[in-house]
Amino acid sequence: MTTDRDRDYLRIVLPLDPLIDARRIVALRAAHLDEAGAAPSGEEVDLGTRRRELLTQLKRVRRDFWSAEEKQLAEKLSALDANDFLELVPEVVRLRQAAAIRGELDLLSDTRGQETPFLRLVRDLCVASPREAATLREAALAALSSVKSRDERRRRRDCRRITLRIVRELPRLFEFERAWFAAVVSHTGWRATCRRIVGRLPFSFLVALPFVWLPGIAGLQLPWGLR
C-alpha cells in the first residue's frame, strides 16, 4: 500500500534526471529505504547516514538560531554541507541569508526588548524549512482575513505597523520575504477592511442598496453643472 511518505518520495524523485542528479537520487533512495526497513548498499548507507546527520544539524541550527552568538552561529552554518543532497540546499541557503539579516529583527523589538506575536512569527518564518514557511505564511494571511474581536483588530494593526516599518527601514529583511510582506500590507489595508465589511452585510441589503443609493445621487446638486 502506498503511503504519504512514498508519495512524497516519488514527487521529489520522478522529475530528477539520472544523468545529472544520480547522487541525489541515490541519497533519496537510501533515506527512503532506510526508513522503510530495507537493506541498502554500503554507499547508500553512507549517504543516508549523512543525510540524517544534516537534518539533525539543520534542526539544531534552527533551534539555537536567535540565541546563539554570531560567531557560534556562523561556525554552525559553515559546517552545513548539502552538496550531495540538493533538495536540502535551499534550506541551508535560506538559513545563511537569514543570518545576514538577524540584526535587523532585533531593531523591531520595543524599548524593553519585548516582541509582539507578529514579530515572533517573522522570526519563525525566517528560519523555517520551505514547507513549514509556506504553512506559516498561509495561516498568518488566513488569520488576518478573518478578524472579528477587538484583540484581533489590534493584532492586525500591529502587523501592518511592523510590516510598513520593515518596508521603509529594513530593505534586506523586506527582500527576504517581499511577496509575503506585500500580502500582509494588502490584507491589512483599508480596501481589505471594506471588503470584509461588505462581505458581512446581509444579501437583501446589498440587493436594495442601488435602489436607495442611486436616487439619492440623482438628487444631488453637483458643482459646475455636473449631474
Answer for the pair 170, 104: CB distance below 8 angstroms, yes or no: yes
Q: For residue 92, tell me if it sits in a domain.
A: yes
Arithmetic mean of pLDDT, 20-42: 65
Q: For residue 224, tell me if it sits in a domain.
A: no
Domain identity same for 2 and 91: yes
Q: Domain range holding 129?
A: 112-197
Domain identity same for 91 and 27: yes
Domain identity same for 82 and 167: no
Domain identity same for 117 and 145: yes
Boundary-marking domain end, from 69, 100, 131:
100
Answer for the pair 66, 87: CB distance below 8 angstroms, yes or no: no
Domain count for the chain? 2
Boundary-marking domain end, from 100, 123, 151:
100
pLDDT averaged over every residue in the chain: 76
Domain identity same for 51 and 88: yes
Structure confidence at residue 152 (pLDDT) = 80
42: confidence class by pLDDT, cuts 50, 70, 90:
low
Answer for the pair 137, 125: CB distance below 8 angstroms, yes or no: yes
Compute how many other C-beta atoms are within 10 angstroms of the C-beta atom of residue 27: 23
Whole-number percent of the chain with pLDDT over 70: 70
Q: For residue 213, tell me if it sits in a domain.
A: no
Domain identity same for 75 and 147: no
Domain identity same for 3 and 50: yes
Q: How far is Cα 91 from Cα 179, in angstroms, rounded to an integer?
A: 18
C-alpha cell at 179: 511577496
Q: For residue 2, tell me if it sits in a domain.
A: yes
Boundary-marking domain end, from 39, 70, 100:
100
Q: What share of the chain is helix, strand, coil (3-state, %, to 5)?
A: 75, 0, 25
Output the CA–CA distances (angstroms, integers) from residue 218 to 121, 208, 223, in the order listed.
50, 16, 13
Q: For residue 169, tell me if it sits in a domain.
A: yes
SS3 76: helix
Domain identity same for 21 and 84: yes
Q: For residue 220, tell me if it sits in a domain.
A: no
Structure confidence at residue 74 (pLDDT) = 94
Domain identity same for 82 and 134: no
pLDDT digits (tens, 9 = 90+) for 109-137: 754 556 788 889 999 999 998 889 889 99
Give the range among 106-115, 146-155, 158-167 with minimum mean pLDDT. 106-115
Q: For residue 152, tell me if it sits in a domain.
A: yes
Give the range among 91-95, 181-185, 218-222 with minimum mean pLDDT. 218-222
15: confidence class by pLDDT, cuts 50, 70, 90:
confident
221: confidence class by pLDDT, cuts 50, 70, 90:
very low
Domain identity same for 4 and 96: yes
Give the range among 12-26, 87-101, 131-145, 166-180 with minimum mean pLDDT. 12-26
pTM of the model: 0.62
Asked if pLDDT for residue 41 goes beyond 60, the answer is no
C-alpha cell at 83: 552538496
Domain identity same for 80 and 155: no
